A = this chain, B = another copy of it.
Amino acid sequence: MASHGARSRSGGRPTLEEVAARAGVGRGTVSRVINGSPRVSDATRAAVEAAVAELGYVPNTAARALAANRTDAIALVVPEPETRFFAEPYFSDMLRGVGAELSDTEMQLLLIFAGSDRERRRLAQYLAAHRVDGVLLVSVHADDPLPDLLAQLEIPAVISGPRSAAETLPSVDSDNYGGARSAVDHLLSRGRTHIAHITGRLDVYGAQRRVDGYRDALRDAGYPPDEGLIAPGDFTEEGGHRAMGELLARNPSLDAVFAGSDVMAAGARRALREAGRRLPEDVAMVGYDDSAIARHMDPPLTSVRQPIEEMGRRMLDLLLTEIADRRPAVSRGLERRQVVLATELVGRSSS
């Protein structure tokens, strides 16, 4: 006690203790002011704030983390290689949404890639050390063990794109089903009658939902189910190209395609060109994602837009709630923690 008074060591930053001395109060009081506790009189608060300003006091994060058992940091985990992260606007939009929402808080955002096995092991270590208060998980496949790890470690997490209808983690997703329906309805309204669908990877729940939406829209319009009009893609351009080839072979009279992603649409477009079909005269096309690819395609591609930035924001909201709720160990009911946002059809000349 006598060994560390209010003297500031050379180059050292001021401590709570020094602020307290300067303001003529105790450490605890300063702490309360800093943390915005209401149990402090206005006069005292003002005095403390003055001292803080004069000394240029900045709290020591490590000490706070140790004492309060929290880190004030959350991680955005991308289970993909870095290259994909930079290639897909999806991630940067998401990041922007999260970042925007986060700038109102004192929280820090960590960006973590978990594409390789090595990176995943590192991440596991990282999470085990509880170096973040919560995790935002984007683009997770059905069989990914990450969510379970998080649950086991009791780390709050929010997932973008539930893994299944029975998703237990809080999640934010866009309305894949509705988006697909709107795409098909649009094509129908254009007078198209033979509408095919190129699916995404079916181990991604959202891709399944798009198929469901496609089927239901056709059924509701009086078209009997025809599995021959559905071809599996894998979200790649090459997959889209191949799928389109199959579809054309099976359905010569096909006059429209709903592709499960813009990238696949680009592949399909190539296949159509090779087959001598004109867009949109012979075959109309609608994509999904409304990415840059859609805008730059020739002709520009009608596509279903997802509010990705908004999704990022909502994910962060959910996560912060989750973290706050967990703090005093209140156990909440299984209220609705699955958010679904509406999509929007962006019409262009491909349809």
- A: which residues have CB within 8 A of B? 11, 13, 56, 58-63, 65-66, 71, 82, 86, 89, 92, 95-96, 99, 103, 108, 110-111, 113, 118-119, 122, 125-126, 128-131, 154
Q: How far is the CB of A103 from chain B (nearest CB, A)?
A: 7
Q: How far is the CB of A71 from chain B (nearest CB, A)?
A: 7
A95-B82, A110-B110, A111-B111 in contact; A61/B103 too (CB < 8 A)?
no
A130 to B64, CA, bound (A): 13
B60 near A129 with CB under 8 A, answer yes
Smallest CB-CB A-B distances: 3 pairs: A62-B65, A62-B66, A86-B92
B128 near A58 with CB under 8 A, answer yes
Q: List 8 A-B contacts (CB under 8 A).
A: A11-B154, A58-B128, A60-B130, A61-B65, A61-B71, A86-B86, A86-B89, A110-B110
A92 to B88, CA, bound (A): 13
A66 near B60 with CB under 8 A, answer yes
Residues of B within 8 A of A108 (CB): 110, 126, 131
A66-B66, A82-B92 in contact; A59/B99 too (CB < 8 A)?
no
Nearest CB in chain B to that of A57: its residue: B128
A287 to B60, CA, bound (A): 48
Residues of B within 8 A of A111 (CB): 111
Q: How far is the CB of A203 from chain B (nearest CB, A)?
A: 28
Q: How far is the CB of A162 from chain B (nearest CB, A)?
A: 26
A58 near B125 with CB under 8 A, answer yes
Residues of B within 8 A of A71 (CB): 61-62
Residues of B within 8 A of A154 (CB): 11
Q: A86-B92, A108-B131, A111-B111 are in contact. List 15 more A-B contacts (CB 8 A).
A: A11-B154, A58-B125, A58-B128, A58-B129, A60-B66, A61-B65, A61-B71, A61-B129, A62-B63, A62-B65, A82-B95, A82-B96, A82-B99, A103-B119, A103-B122
Q: How far is the CB of A129 from chain B (nearest CB, A)?
A: 5
Residues of B within 8 A of A126 (CB): 108
Residues of B within 8 A of A62 (CB): 62-63, 65-66, 71
In-complex Cβ contact of A118 among B61, B66, B103, B129 (8 A): B103
Residues of B within 8 A of A89 (CB): 86
Residues of B within 8 A of A82 (CB): 92, 95-96, 99
Nearest CB in chain B to that of A116: its residue: B103
Nearest CB in chain B to that of A119: its residue: B103
Q: How far is the CB of A323 from chain B (nearest CB, A)?
A: 16
Q: How far is the CB of A127 from chain B (nearest CB, A)?
A: 10
A129 near B59 with CB under 8 A, answer yes
A99 to B89, CA, bound (A): 21
In-complex Cβ contact of A66 among B56, B58, B63, B130 (8 A): B63
Q: How far is the CB of A66 from chain B (nearest CB, A)?
A: 4
Q: How far is the CB of A57 from chain B (nearest CB, A)?
A: 10
Nearest CB in chain B to that of A87: its residue: B92
A66 to B67, CA, bound (A): 10
